[in-house]
A and B are shown apart, each in its own frame.
Chain A
């Protein structure tokens, strides 16, 4: 049976959730088109984590366990993937379109002269088992349906958050691969890593989003978010100037929100941003300009000065003033 592979990303043994979304989707496609779904799991001491990966749709988990694979390293990871692909000749390899997933897929594609669909938002096969996916472009306003032409393996990276994580009851086997190659990095070495507490706002129920109109006054935004029980997100310029980490940057180069409520303060509505709020439930924006493009994306546009309205709202939420 032809194989459909999913690269499972991890860091220090912690599995990247969006890889499991891709795996769950792969299983659905595998059942439909007759592929064996294989999870490719590289890391250090990850063998005992293979169980928690496999249940999301794999019939086989291929584990490569090596201390040097503890963190992502483009040199080593592409080398391992190359060996594995040469050995097993999968039909398709899927990646989550995270930084590392995109990094790895771009290299593998040229290595195997493969077609690669970028950050797709839908995925399917055609009658000749060529991979077809929808690829958003131009800041997310236009999507192209793109097909791989007769290349094997064929590749795609999948936009995180598009597919749901599912659990399957069927059994799977775990195979540890010994590639018999030396896994010592020659060209890229990791010197240090600095990770703050990572906040994943892609699954937050409520989000307060700060745009440039807030002047980067994160104290005010955070106070409001706290009172609402919401998480904080920002537009790209605020991450650019460094008042907030990239992890909470919303839009086509950041996170796509799926919150029930998004309260957006002082964002004008640039296309690279609005693609990140299209899946939200209720969108309320506060902006000085009633004609700002953000209006198109808002259920309610409150026209006014953030610095006048938000402090008053904070008082109301604290119960210091009666509504």
Chain B
């Protein structure tokens, strides 16, 4: 029987809906809809499968504004047993250093954990630094880019599959540990709507501020960060001809052949 399985989850704007204003140098996320970071959904799915196989409690923890409430409820609808949102204005502008610190402190407060799972990276920042960072704060082993946890044995070791260049490796890692789960390695389950109704209406979401975690404002947010954003730029797609070719398949195949001929 496993103890707590904790999933650190982030909500991200859909990347294709984020726009950039080069004049004001600001990123406009206001028109973008949010979603649970896709890789984090894979992490949650893996956590739920582990729970089905080995027992334990799946707890989702996230650091973000109060409006993320509904995404945490969605995670509960998918099957998470509990959800905690760390929300505090002082956290704004955190880079990965205070982020990992805050998440690790919350995980310590939850306690009693065997496995912590995150997505391999977020689709907005994409640093992938959070899982190893949390591992260091908690002084537990970390493994990144895993596609599965194959087995957990009685003696407290887990067998995991990790993607490497050219293939994969099977590692044995001692519990408790933190792992970053590869995007697309499983199909996240669709929530049961009976549970979703409960999650939306009755489930009591826990909200912590930094005081609850014993952190002070100097340690988090911009002040606690080790990096600073000094400028923003749009990465423009290269100029392309964008010529549209239409016609019958025979014709198009010939046109393609003409275009490709020079490269044979």
Contacts and interface: CB of A to CB of B under 8 A. Distances in A.
Contact of A284 (B97, B141, B234, B256): B256
A58 interface: no
Contacts, number: 289
Interface residues of A, number: 104
B142 A105 contact: no
Given A71-B169, A110-B136, A149-B226, A301 B242 contact: yes
Nearest to A132: B230
Contact of B144 (A74, A191, A198, A240): A74
Interface string A112-141: 011111110000000000001010111111
A interface secondary structure, majority: mixed
A99 B226 contact: no
B132 A103 contact: yes
Residues of B in contact with A, size category = 35 or more
Contact of B171 (A136, A191, A228, A253): A191
A267 to B, nearest CB: 14
A274 interface: yes
A275 B123 CA distance: 13
Given A109-B97, A113-B97, A192-B170, A138 B246 contact: no
Interface of A: 11, 16, 71-72, 74-75, 78, 98-100, 102-107, 109-111, 113-119, 132, 134, 136-149, 151, 186-198, 206, 228-229, 236-237, 239-240, 245-247, 252-253, 260-261, 263, 270-272, 274-275, 278-279, 282-284, 286, 290, 293, 295-305, 308-310, 312-313, 315-317, 323
Interface of B: 13, 15-16, 18, 20, 27, 95-97, 100-101, 120-121, 123-133, 135-137, 140-145, 159, 163-174, 177, 182-185, 225-235, 237-238, 240-247, 249-250, 252-260, 263-264
Report, nearest first, the 9 A-B pairs whose CB atoms are least far apart.
Answer: A106-B132, A198-B166, A240-B184, A115-B226, A312-B253, A139-B15, A118-B127, A110-B136, A106-B129
11 contacts: A99-B145, A102-B128, A110-B97, A115-B95, A119-B126, A147-B228, A191-B169, A195-B164, A195-B165, A283-B240, A304-B247
